[in-house]
């Protein structure tokens, strides 16, 4: 009886083998350096699911640069609250994006914006 496969056949995948779409996209994102930007797009789009509806109703992510996520709160009280919650928010972001993607959370309230506007 003949073996169903030749001796050179291997179960290991080859580079030329078809890949699932998610794996192919993941490879493209990594190769182009877009993985972090795509992950942050997911954070901006899923902010309520990450921080909860109540916090999201009073805050919004503004920017991400070099491991720092900047969040704006609609009141100084909410800015203070989010600063106290920063370790939990960072842990949640690590779950979503991978450890070390967001290393620091900067939170601004409206008084910060007013002071910045007066300096102009």
Find the domain containing 99 and state its range: 35-118
- The residue behind tokens 């030749």 is 6
Residue 28 lies in a domain: no
Tell me the pLDDT tens digit for each residue of 37-75. 656 667 778 899 989 999 999 999 988 888 899 999 999
Residue 12 lies in a domain: no
Judge contact between 102 and 90, C-beta under 8 A. Answer: yes
> What is the torsional sign of CA 52, 113, 67, 40?
positive
Per the structure, how many domains does the chain have? 1
- CATH number assigned to the domain comprising residue 105: 3.30.300.180
Residue 46 lies in a domain: yes
With CA atoms as reference, report the closest residue to 81 among 104, 111, 47, 58. 58
Residue 5 lies in a domain: no
Residue 18 lies in a domain: no
Tell me the pLDDT tens digit for each residue of 70-113. 999 999 999 999 999 999 999 998 888 788 888 999 999 998 65
| DSSP helix/strand/coil, 68 | strand
No. of helices (H) and no. of strands (E), the chain? 6, 3
């Amino acid at each position: 009886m003949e073996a169903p496969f030749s001796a050179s056949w291997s179960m290991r995948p080859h580079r030329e083998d078809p890949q699932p779409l998610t794996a192919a996209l993941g490879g493209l994102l990594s190769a182009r350096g877009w993985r972090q930007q795509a992950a942050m797009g997911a954070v901006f789009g899923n902010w309520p699911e990450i921080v909860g509806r109540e916090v999201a109703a009073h805050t919004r992510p503004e920017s991400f640069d070099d491991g720092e996520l900047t969040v704006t709160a609609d009141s100084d009280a909410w800015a203070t609250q989010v600063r106290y919650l920063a370790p939990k928010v960072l842990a949640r972001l690590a779950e979503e994006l991978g450890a070390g993607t967001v290393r620091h959370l900067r939170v601004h309230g409206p008084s910060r914006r007013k002071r910045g506007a007066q300096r102009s």
